[in-house]
Structure 1
Amino acid sequence: MSVSVLLARKIDTIAPELKDVLWTMLEEIERNREEAVTKVEFNELKEIVRDLGLAQQRTEKRVEELAEAQKELAEAQNRTEQRVEELAGAQKELAEAQKRTEQKIEELIEAQKRTEEEIAKLSRGLNNTRSQVGGLARSVAYALENEAYRKLPTYLNTRHDLRLEERFIRQELGGEEMNIFAKAVRNGGEEVMLVGETVLRLDDISKFAQLEKNVKIVKEHYQLPVVPILVTHFARPNLLEYARNEGIIVVQSFDWD
């Protein structure tokens, strides 16, 4: 028990029988005080322990939440790794597909080169064929002209009363080549100019264009009537009708035989 010196001196001055009672009272008071303090502290301690328990529960709950989050994170990591593996596999397949595509492109390029080479060969062959056909066409055309030079004089004299004063020639006039050109006389004695063209087939009206151009040129150079002639192996009926209306003599090769 803690008692001040002054209080102790005062108690010593009291009668012995009272002094014992007073000390007893002081001891009881001190004991009660100590017990009261102990209960308060105990209650505070209980409150602290309870708070610590709650904090521990919250900590454990948080730990469980963290554990669950860690578990979910681990699962997400596993899924990510699986996805990465899938992407890696897809990338590998894509790389292989790209490689096959590049190989296919190379094959197509080679095939294109071969095709171009074949086309070039065919083109050269076609050009040769065209040249041969063109040469053959010119040969046939010249053959028709040469035959016309031999057969036309008699045919024109017999069928159209036209007698040549000179033989047929090829003539260039006004920058244009004329396949059939000669001076002739009608039975009445009128001089005329014979101007003609040869075509293998008279199957289009445009084939009169050159003849009409030549007739115009001859009229500009000679002060004589002009008789246009067109020699062919075959003529369409509608074009024969057109020629008659235009005053053009059309001679088919079978006519002079």
Structure 2
Amino acid sequence: MFDTLEIYEALKEDFPENVAKKLAVLMGKVYTELANTVTKTEFNELKEVVRELAEAQKRTEARVEELAEAQKKTEQRVDELAEAQKRTEEEIKKLATGLKQTRDMVAGLSDTVGYGLEDRIIPYMERFAHKEYGIKVEVLDRRNIIYPDGRFDEVNIYIEGKRNGKRAYLIGECKARPSKRDIKRFNEVLKRVREQLGENVEGFIVGYYYAPDIERYIRERYPEIKMMKSFQFELKYGRKAS
């Protein structure tokens, strides 16, 4: 703090009283102005800093609002995608159900055709079994082979009889257009039947039509399975059994 009286007393030692008084007053004014100038400058600087901080805060709040809006849109998009996925899963489920129904229908048609084949060739079975396998037929049936664990295989044609005085079995499978999958499955059935009835079990498959690769597949992979076409029975064993 500036002490005018103290300055005045010091100046009296070197200057006349009236001059010392004027100088002391003048120096007091200069000090006051200087102090005020520094305070205003600092205050203005402080206001500028506060203003900048306020602008920065305003921009930050605006950015936060933008981020919040972007997050809201993202969440809405996620909800839309989740809903779309849900609809897709429902459509897939419907398609799977439709596919299963189609497969069931095809399987039903295949079974119907297969049973039709059985009915056509059953009258020739005694002559066929005797001529091709040397079996004298005692049992001719369509039956299920039931295993000890409760499982079973449906057999299209089941023939049981004797060959050279020994029990023998002949198993037939009927398919409109046999596939590799059909052949593999039938071969597995024959394996299970042999485990149940003994090794003296043979098999044949009957179809309306065989694709060339299927005929080759049977001859090369399963030569022990006789391949027959439905029309051959009447031609080769033409006299129907009574």
Q: Which range, TM-score by smaller chain?
A: 0.5 to 0.7
Deviation of residue 249 (structure 1)?
3.8
Q: Which residue number in structure 1 is paired with residue 229 of structure 2? A: 253
The 8 Å contact of residues 118 and 174 in structure 2, kept in 1 or not, is answered as no
Deviation of residue 194 (structure 1)?
1.8
The one-letter amino acid of 1:250's match is K
Deviation of residue 228 (structure 1)?
0.9
Q: Which residue number in structure 1 is paired with residue 4 of structure 2? A: none
The 8 Å contact of residues 178 and 197 in structure 1, kept in 2 or not, is answered as no
Q: Please, what is the CA RMSD of the aligned residues?
A: 4.0
Aligned mates of 2:68, 2:74 — CA distance in 1: 10
Deviation of residue 199 (structure 1)?
6.0
Q: Which residue number in structure 2 is paired with residue 42 of structure 1? A: 13
The 8 Å contact of residues 167 and 182 in structure 1, kept in 2 or not, is answered as yes
Higher helix share: 1
Describe the shift of the 1:49–1:43 C-alpha distance in structure 2 as closer, same or farther (beyond 3 A): farther
- Structure 2 residue runs of 5 or longer lacking an equivalent are 1-8, 236-242
Q: Which residue number in structure 1 is paired with residue 240 of structure 2? A: none
Q: Which residue number in structure 2 is paired with residue 231 of structure 1? A: 205
Q: State the structure with more CA Rg.
A: 1
Q: In the alignment, which of 204, 214, 217 is matched to residue 193 of structure 2? A: 214
Select the structure with the greater relative contact order (CA < 8 A; seq sep ≥ 6): 2
The 8 Å contact of residues 211 and 228 in structure 1, kept in 2 or not, is answered as yes
Q: Which residue number in structure 1 is paired with residue 5 of structure 2? A: none
Describe the shift of the 1:152–1:53 C-alpha distance in structure 2 as closer, same or farther (beyond 3 A): farther
1:119-147 Cα offsets, whole Å, 9 max, x none, are 34333323322332332333334334444
Describe the shift of the 1:202–1:252 C-alpha distance in structure 2 as closer, same or farther (beyond 3 A): farther
Aligned mates of 1:39, 1:139 — CA distance in 2: 134
TM normalised by structure 1 equals: 0.60
Matches within 5 A, 1:116-155: 116-155=89-128
Deviation of residue 211 (structure 1)?
0.5
Aligned mates of 1:178, 1:115 — CA distance in 2: 39
Number of positions where the alignment pairs a residue of Structure 1 with one of Structure 2: 210
Aligned mates of 2:173, 2:134 — CA distance in 1: 21
Describe the shift of the 1:138–1:112 C-alpha distance in structure 2 as closer, same or farther (beyond 3 A): same
TM normalised by structure 2 equals: 0.63
